[in-house]
Every structure is written in C-alpha cells, then in structure tokens.
Amino acid sequence: MDDAILSITGLSIHYPTSTGIVKAVDNVSFSLPRGKVVGLVGESGCGKSTLGLAILKLMRPPGEIVAGKILLDGENLIDKDEAQMRRIRGPKVSMVFQDPMTSLNPLIRLDRHFLETIDAHERNVGKDDAMARINKLVEHLGISSSRLREFPHELSGGMRQRIMIGLALILNPKLIIADEPTNSLDVIVEAHFLDLLKGLQKEYNLTILLITHNMGIVAQLADRVAVMYAGRIVEEAGVMDLFARPLHPYTKGLLSSIPNIEVDQMRLYTMPGSPPDLTDPPPGCPFHPRCPNKMSICDKKTPHDIITDGRHVECFLYGGKDA
Ligand code: SF4
C-alpha cells in the first residue's frame, strides 16, 4: 500500500501453554496508510489486542513473535531490543488502553504522569517548558489545567480517557493504537470522546489503529476495516465498501448482528457456534464449523491470499479453490 506508516507481513504470535500452542495471530499481513484510521474488528479472543500489543512488543510472556515483519516507517521492529523499543514507544507510536484506571498510577497526580513521560524521552526539556506544553494540551482536550494537580480517581471516566489520549499525544507520535478506548464509557460520553478523537486525528494528521468489537464505532471513525477471526485477517476493505458489500461470511454475520432501527425485526440475527479453541483450531478454513456457505473444500484446505475486486478476503467463495 502506498505511503504506509506501518506495514505488517506474515506475522505469527504463539503462546505456549500446558495444553498446547495458542496461535493467537496466524500469518497476518496488513498496512496502515499514513493519516488514516483503520478499524481492527472481531469477537473477543480473535487476536486483535495481541496484534496491537505486538506492534509495541508489549505482549506478556510466554507470548512470542515466531515469524513475520513489523515495519514502522521502514524500520523492522522485530529486530529491536527492549532499550530500542523504549525509545520508539511514545515518540513514534503510542497506545491508548481500554481502562484508564488500570493504566494510570492511582498514587501519583496527573501532572506527574505527563512530566515523567516527557522526562523519559526529552531530557533537555525544563519543568516550566514541559508544564506549559502539558497545560496547553489538556486545555485543548477540554480539561482545565488546574485538574492536573488531582489524582486519577478524582476525575470522571470520560476525563480520565481524555487524559490517556493526552499522554499518548504529549510526545507527538504519528501513530496511535487505541485498544477498545470507549469500553469504560457510557454512550453519551463515548459519543463526545469519539468526536474528540476524530478532531484530533484530523488536526494532528494521526494514523490510528482502532481495535474494537463495536462496528458502530468503526463506521463513525475508520477509513478502512480489517476483520479478524481466529488469529487471521479474513477480510480487509474501505469502510464504505465493507458496510455496503461485505464478502466474507463472517463479516456478513457480524454486520447482520447489529440492530437496525429502520428494519422491523422480532429477533436479531446471532451467529451460530463460538470462536474456535486456538490451541486446536479446526482444519481448513477456521470459520467452517459456523459458516452458512461451507463447501466440501472448506474443512480440507485453508484459504490464503485471495484478492477479489481489490479486496483481501480469505474465503473460497471468491477463488483459491484450484490453488
Ligand atoms: Fe465459509 Fe468456506 Fe468461505 Fe470458510 S472458505 S468462510 S467455510 S465458504
């Protein structure tokens, strides 16, 4: 893809466990175009958060990257050691986690969170200059700078999540990974937060990888969407294309499960079955036990690298049967 800030090729991440190897991410390739928002969607346990953490090399042991490349502006992050990654996390790519209460230190005031972040990366910035920058940013996020002397628990959930965005932006990275950033917010605060995120993305020309199970959020914010199932990206497309014409049966199922107030419907569609056990995934296409379009080839071979209408879709309905 032209001018990709992040390009992932053939990435596989395994977790050895007492019951076998969990293939949390299995041969994933995709790119993030600069200045765009890409939604990464799928059910819980499909590998989307693991993929986000892997970009920053923050997976918990025993998780390990067993294959692939992660190119950030052409630099392969797989080759970086921990000291080098510490210099990349923050100034080049940063992350907004699901729950600010587990990410912010409850024992230190908010200004210290910012000061310590700046001090870790920009040793020559004095405290007054750092505070001027912090005050300006938090005011821009709609929080009075006087609140910076407070502790995390003294803020509302929406304010805490705005502080998390501020911490992610304070070192001016161009890439932000936001992992379910609205999970802890109610719908009203969520709507305000999404508006803020959309505004910041345009203003700072940010590239955002938005990890979520919520297709509504993707529809509001994303330019492109990658759909994950059982550790694989099964479909990737522009957001309008994907919503107007989903191709993969799993994507169709996800979209059919969204309530539509314009349709008179007694029962909402639910996809049969549940995601596979990744220590022992089904043979062939991992979606075949739940797929309404299953064919005889589907439990024998795994669909790979199928492109139809310029769209990546891992499904034999769109080719690959003869490969
Ligand atoms: Fe369904 Fe077969 Fe396509 Fe898999 S490859 S999604 S089982 S039709």
Measure 275 CA to ligand 1 centroid, in angstroms.
14
Per-residue pLDDT band at 322 (split at 50, 70, 90): low
Residue closest to 56 by CA, chosen among 26, 6, 23, 95:
95
DSSP 129: H
Taking only the tens place, the pLDDT of each residue in 246-286 is: 999 999 999 988 877 777 777 888 888 888 999 889 999 99
pLDDT at 117: 95
| Inter-residue contact 232 to 286 (CB < 8 Å) | yes
pLDDT at 114: 97
Longest dimension (CA), the chain: 68
pLDDT at 2: 61
Residue 172, pLDDT > 80, answer: yes
Mean pLDDT of 239-245: 94
Domain range list for the chain? 4-92+173-322
Instruction: State how far the Cα of 251 lies from the Cα of 236, in Å rounded to an integer.
Output: 10
Mean pLDDT of 165-178: 94
Measure 292 CA to ligand 1 centroid, in angstroms.
8
Taking only the tens place, the pLDDT of each residue in 5-17 is: 999 999 999 999 9
- Atom 7 of ligand 1, residue of closest alpha carbon: 288
Q: Which residues pair with 268 in a beta bridge?
A: none
Per-residue pLDDT band at 99 (split at 50, 70, 90): confident
Measure 222 CA to ligand 1 centroid, in angstroms.
26
* Ligand 1 near 306 CB (within 6 A): no
Measure 285 CA to ligand 1 centroid, in angstroms.
6
CATH of 4-92+173-322, one of 3.40.640.10, 2.40.50.40, 3.40.50.300, 3.40.50.1980: 3.40.50.300
* Ligand 1 near 287 CB (within 6 A): yes
